[in-house]
């Protein structure tokens, strides 16, 4: 279930706000310039190719490209049996920013985005049918969990794809990880 938990950065042991209401999540995210939407999903085989996935969502992807100036779209997918899953998880677990919006649409599975605004951290557990667009310059990190199972469409304005600028802050290590928050949401 899509769930938003809000923490004070100095009190990471307890969320002061938790909601699973999609419209409330959308409104709370919009206050910080974050786009959150729920899209209708398509029934696709578990082994659908990148081309099949992009074709199934071609209208939505084309609309976002036109609206936001994205140049390219691809599909990222990770399963729990991937021998590199721990390394992939670690790559995204430190707070960072980007010089472009980070857009993800969850075709299947889930993942946890942490967004750091002032002294608040918004932990948004996204799932199948969720679209999130994190504005450029936003401090954030992503936790796919120890047994990742997700497929996402990604859109980029930079044709080189994902490029991060790490902040060097340790805040990501102080907040509850996927195992805690996804377990609490389930």
Give the residue among 139, 100, 141, 93 at the shortest CA–CA distance from 118: 139
Task: Check: CB of residue 135 under 8 Å from CB of residue 101.
Answer: yes
Residue whose token pair is 């938790």: 18
Residue 98 backbone dihedrals phi, psi, to 5 degrees = -135, 160
Task: Check: CB of residue 71 under 8 Å from CB of residue 159.
Answer: yes
98 known ligand binder: yes
- Tell me the residue length of the chain: 186
Burial class (CB within 10 angstroms; exposed 0-12, middle 13-18, buried 19+) of 67: exposed
CA distance 175 to 55: 38
32 known ligand binder: no
116 known ligand binder: no
CA distance 82 to 147: 9
Give the residue among 79, 83, 81 at the shortest CA–CA distance from 46: 79
Which residue positions form the known binding site for Fe(2+)? 96, 98, 102, 140
Which residue positions form the known binding site for Ni(2+)? 96, 98, 102, 140
Which residue positions form the known binding site? 96, 98, 102, 140
């Amino acid at each position: 279930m899509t769930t938003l938990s809000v923490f004070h950065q100095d009190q990471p042991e307890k969320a002061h706000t938790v909601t699973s209401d999609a419209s409330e999540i959308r409104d709370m995210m919009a206050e910080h310039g974050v786009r959150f939407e729920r899209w209708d999903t398509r029934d696709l085989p578990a082994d659908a190719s990148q081309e099949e996935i992009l074709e199934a969502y071609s209208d939505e992807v084309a609309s976002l490209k036109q609206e936001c100036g994205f140049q390219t779209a691809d599909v990222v997918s990770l399963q729990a049996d991937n021998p590199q899953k721990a390394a992939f998880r670690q790559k995204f677990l430190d707070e960072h920013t980007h010089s472009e919006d980070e857009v993800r649409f969850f075709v299947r599975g889930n993942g946890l985005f942490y967004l750091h605004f002032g002294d608040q951290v918004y932990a948004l557990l996204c799932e199948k049918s969720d679209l999130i667009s994190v504005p450029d310059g936003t401090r954030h990190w992503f936790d796919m969990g120890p047994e990742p199972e997700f497929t996402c469409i990604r859109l980029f304005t930079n044709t080189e794809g994902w490029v991060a600028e790490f902040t060097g802050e340790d805040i990501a290590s102080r907040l509850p990880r996927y195992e805690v928050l996804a377990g609490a949401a389930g």
